[in-house]
Amino acid sequence: MVKICCIGAGYVGGPTMAVIALKCPEIEVVVVDIAVPRINAWNSDQLPIYEPGLDDVVKQCRGKNLFFSTDVEKHVSEADIVFVSVNTPTKTQGLGAGKAADLTYWESAARMIADVSKSDKIVVEKSTVPVKTAEAIERILTHNRKGINFNILSNPEFLAEGTAIADLFNPDRVLIGGRETPEGQKAIQALKAVYAHWVPEDRILCTNLWSAELSKLAANAFLAQRISSVNAMSALCEATGADVSQVSHSIGTDSRIGPKFLNASVGFGGSCFQKDILNLVYICECNGLPEVANYWKQVIKVNDYQKTRFVNRVVSSMFNTVSGKKIAILGFAFKKDTGDTRETPAIDVCKGLLGDKAKLSIYDPQVTEEQIMRDLSMKKFDWDHPAHLQPSSPTTSNKQQQVSVVFDAYEAIKDAHGICVLTEWDEFKALDYQKVYENMQKPAFIFDGRNVVDAKKLREIGFIVYSIGKPL
C-alpha cells in the first residue's frame, strides 16, 4: 500500500488530500499539521474551512484511508510520498520584505523531513514557491547523511476556493515537474499514477522542475492581469458612458480572448494573487529584469487603484463625507462560497471608509465577527504569519466603536445611508430591495462592487446606484 503524508492541513492540503483519498481507496492518506485546533476541526463535524462538497468527500473516507493528525514526524517517516502544502506568505521583514516569499515554514518542514526519514521518499512541492526552490530544498534534504534518496517534484495546485472540490474532481490539468534524470522521471511516473486514478492522461502535464514552479506563478499572474485589465477598462467606462459588462462580453466572444475572468470588480483578493505576483516581481528584480518586474507590478498597482477608486467614489458621492454615517457592508469574504478573508478587498475598502470616520455594519454569511475585527486591526502582510496573529491594541478600541458585525443583511442595512456590496453572495441578489429601501436613510445609496444587483430595478425603487464600470 502506498502511503501519502501531506504537511499542511489548510485550504489546499485538506481538500486535495481528501479527493486523493476518495479517488484512490488503496492509498492511505494522512494530513498532518502543527496547528492542533485545525487538526481537531478536520476530525470533527465542523471542518475548519467552508468549501461546497468538501464535507461529503471527507465523510466518505475519513477513518478509512484518510486521516488527520498532529503527529507530524511519525506520519512523515512512514510515508512514500510527502506533499508539502504549508503557507508561503510574503516576507514582512528583512531582505525582500513586502515582496519575496517567506519560506520559513517550507524550510522547517524540509528539515523535519530530512531528520525523521528512514526510507526513500518522493517530496512534492504543493505550496506555491519561487522558481528554483526545489534546488534549495534538495540541498536541505540531502544534508541528511543516512543514505536516503529524496526525489523532489513540483506539483503546483490550481484549484480556486469556493469551487475546490469541482476543480479537483475535474482539473483543466495536473502539472508535475521533476528532474530530467532516470530517478526524477520514475518519481514523476509514481505521482502521475496517483492522479491517473481519475484524471485523463492527456491532462497530466510533465515538465522539468523549473517550468512547473514558474508555471504556477505565471498562471496566477495571467489570471490577475485579466482582472486588472478589465478593472482598468471599468474606470474608462465610468468616464465615458461605456458599460464594462458589454465591453467584457464583446471582447470575450473572441475565442483568442475567451469569456472567463473578465468580471470587473472592486478588486481581486485572496491569499495568492497578490503574494504570487509580488514574488514574481522580486524574482525578476533578482535576475536583473527590472522591465519585466515593473510590467507585473502594474497588475497590483491597478488593483490597489481600483479599491481606492471605490472608496473615493463612495465618499465623494455621499456629499464628500461619510463621517458618522452608517454604511452597510454586504460581504466580507474575498469571493462567494468561501469564508476566507485573506487579502479580501473588503479590508481595504472598510479601512478606507473608517479613515473617513464612517460607521460600518458588516454582514457576511460565512465570516465570523472575530475574524473581521482581526482583519481590520492587522497590518498588511501580517495575516499569514501565525506569530503576528494578535491584533495591535491601540486601534482596536476605536475600530470596535466604529464597526459592528451583524448576522443578517437586513440588520446591517437598517437606517444605513449607503450599502457597499463587496462579495457576490447569491443572497444579495435576492434581497427584498423595496423593504431595504424603506428601512434606509434617504437618499439611499448603493455601491455595487460586484455588479450583482439589478441597477435598473433598484433605481425604479428610488436608490442611487453606482455599479463598477457602468453609466449612472
For ligand UGA, the binding residues (CB under 6 A) are 128, 157-161, 220, 223, 227, 261-263, 265, 268-273, 334-335
Closest approach, Cβ 13 to ligand NAD, in A, equals 6
Q: Is 365 annotated as a binding residue?
A: no
Binding status of residue 423 toward ligand NAD by CB under 6 A: no
> Of all residues in this chain, which one has the CB nearest to ligand NAD in the complex?
10
Q: Is 246 annotated as a binding residue?
A: no
Cell numbers at residue 39, please? Answer: 487538526
Q: Is 38 annotated as a binding residue?
A: yes
The span from the CA of 101 to the CA of 269, in Å, is 17
Binding status of residue 168 toward ligand NAD by CB under 6 A: no
Judged by CB under 6 A, the residue of 42, 105, 334, 363 near ligand NAD is 105
Burial grade of 278 (CB within 10 A; 0-12, 13-18, 19 or more): buried
Binding status of residue 7 toward ligand NAD by CB under 6 A: yes
Closest approach, Cβ 440 to ligand NAD, in A, equals 36
**In whole angstroms, what separates CA 422 from the centre of its chain?**
16
Judged by CB under 6 A, the residue of 272, 330, 421, 440 near ligand NAD is 272
449 contact, one of ligand NAD, ligand UGA, none, CB 5-8 Å limit per kind: none
Binding status of residue 296 toward ligand NAD by CB under 6 A: no
Judged by CB under 6 A, the residue of 24, 58, 72, 318 near ligand NAD is 72
The span from the CA of 251 to the CA of 263, in Å, is 12
* The one catalytic residue among 237, 272, 350, 420: 272
263 contact, one of ligand NAD, ligand UGA, none, CB 5-8 Å limit per kind: ligand UGA
Closest approach, Cβ 10 to ligand NAD, in A, equals 2
3-class secondary-structure state, position 268 = coil
Return the number of the residue (43 or 402) whose C-beta is nearest ligand NAD: 43
DSSP conformational letter for 347: H
**In whole angstroms, what separates CA 415 from the centre of its chain?**
33
- Non-local CB neighbours of 157 within 8 Å, separated by 6+ positions: 12, 16, 85, 126, 128, 216
3-class secondary-structure state, position 197 = coil
3-class secondary-structure state, position 62 = strand
Closest approach, Cβ 220 to ligand UGA, in A, equals 5
Return the number of the residue (139 or 442) whose C-beta is nearest ligand NAD: 139
Return the number of the residue (117 or 220) whose C-beta is nearest ligand UGA: 220
Judged by CB under 6 A, the residue of 4, 6, 11, 178 near ligand NAD is 11
Contact 64, 27 (CB under 8 A): no
Binding status of residue 219 toward ligand NAD by CB under 6 A: no
Return the number of the residue (237 or 283) whose C-beta is nearest ligand NAD: 283
Return the number of the residue (151 or 265) whose C-beta is nearest ligand UGA: 265
Return the number of the residue (115 or 438) whose C-beta is nearest ligand NAD: 115
Closest approach, Cβ 403 to ligand UGA, in A, equals 21
H or E segment to which residue 177 belongs? strand 174-178
Handedness of CA 400, 405, 406, 412 (dihedral sign): positive
State the Rg of the chain over Cα: 23
Residue written as cell 489548510? Answer: 10
- Non-local CB neighbours of 394 within 8 Å, separated by 6+ positions: none
85 contact, one of ligand UGA, ligand NAD, none, CB 5-8 Å limit per kind: ligand NAD
H or E segment to which residue 368 belongs? none
Q: Which among 455, 420, 432, 431 is positioned nearest to 317, based on CA atoms?
A: 420
Return the number of the residue (65 or 231) whose C-beta is nearest ligand UGA: 231
Q: Is 10 annotated as a binding residue?
A: yes
The span from the CA of 113 to the CA of 140, in Å, is 9
- Non-local CB neighbours of 171 within 8 Å, separated by 6+ positions: 158, 159, 199, 203
Give the DSSP letter string of 371-389: HHHHHHHSPTTGGG-GGG-
- Whether 272 sits among the annotated catalytic residues: the reply is yes
Q: Is 76 annotated as a binding residue?
A: no
Residue written as cell 471527507? Answer: 58
Contact 88, 45 (CB under 8 A): no
The span from the CA of 347 to the CA of 274, in Å, is 14
227 contact, one of ligand UGA, ligand NAD, none, CB 5-8 Å limit per kind: ligand UGA
Q: Provide φ and ψ at 351, rounded to 5°.
A: -60, -40
88 contact, one of ligand NAD, ligand UGA, none, CB 5-8 Å limit per kind: ligand NAD
**Residues that constitute the known binding site:** 8-13, 33, 38, 86-90, 127-128, 161, 272-275, 342
Q: Which residues bind ligand NAD (CB under 6 A)?
A: 7-13, 33-35, 38, 72, 85-88, 105, 108-109, 127-128, 157, 159, 161, 271-272
Residues with catalytic function: 272
**Residues that constitute the known binding site for NAD(+):** 8-13, 33, 38, 86-90, 127-128, 161, 272-275, 342
